[in-house]
Amino acid sequence: MIQYNYKMYIWGIFMCELIRKFNELPVSERIQIIATLTTMVGIVVSLIFAIFTLRQNNKFKREEARANIVCFIEHITKTSNSYIVIKNFGKSIGRVIDVTLAAYVDIDKIVGITDSNFENILKQKNYILAPDQKISSFYNFIDYDIDDFTVTISYETLGKTYKEEFLLKPRLAHNVVSTVKTSSNYNNTENLLSNMNESLREISEKI
């Protein structure tokens, strides 16, 4: 504490001497010194602002370019099939490190595929998703009373790790209403075209 006070005392003497010397200078020199100091402060502030702006721009560019891996339920209205989908909506490759399902949901009981070789996508780890690539599996939500549940995905992209939580709503997915235009006045060709259009819409939903 004594050493600290001594340093403050020396610093006080130095500042007082500096002010005294400054006051002894001609007015023109004092003005020149003040102008120089003001310019230096302006340069420092501008430099700090430029560095901050550059960092923010780099952050925005990284966020725009990174992978954006999302988990959601995709419902095909015509077939009433539901799929849990994990998709990369971003612009870079992402590596899925881990997928964690809410503890209160036993997803194995609602897997729509009964093949013993089938592996639950919610249990897959350490795999790559390219931009706009997805994996999906059919789940039988209709025959099971499944409430909303969460899926947490940890993934790595552009050297940084992200961990995001997604709320899945099976009941909401099945409440989707689809309307199709029909008419008893359609001829066979029009009915065929209508059915083809509906089939294409189903395929587009699945894709």
pLDDT in tens, 114-131: 555 566 788 888 999 999
Provide the residue ranges of all domains of the chain, joining segments of one domain with +: 2-51, 69-179+198-206
pTM (predicted TM-score): 0.60
pLDDT in tens, 167-186: 988 877 666 544 444 444 45
Instruction: Name residue 18's amino acid.
Output: L
CA 33 – CA 21 distance, rounded (Å):
12
Q: How confident is the model at residue 199 (pLDDT cuts 50, 70, 90)?
A: low
CA 38 – CA 124 distance, rounded (Å):
61
Pull the structure tokens for residue 100: 């964690």
CA 108 – CA 117 distance, rounded (Å):
13
Q: How far is CA 61 from CA 33, 91, 102, 158, in A?
A: 42, 11, 33, 11
Instruction: Name residue 196's amino acid.
Output: M
Whether residue 110 contacts residue 82, with contact meaning beta carbons closer than 8 Å, is answered with no
Domain covering 69-179+198-206 assigned CATH 1.10.287 in the classification: no
Residues with Cβ < 8 Å from 158, sequence gap 6 or more? Answer: 62, 65, 66, 67, 92
Instruction: Name residue 121's amino acid.
Output: I
CA dihedral 104, 149, 73, 109 (to 10 degrees): 10
Q: In this predicted structure, what is the pLDDT of residue 206? A: 47
3-state SS assignment for residue 115:
coil
Q: Which of 152, 162, 164, 138 is nearest to 102 (CA)?
A: 152
Using the predicted structure, report yes or no on whether residue 189 has a pLDDT greater than 50: yes
Using the predicted structure, report yes or no on whether residue 23 has a pLDDT greater than 70: yes
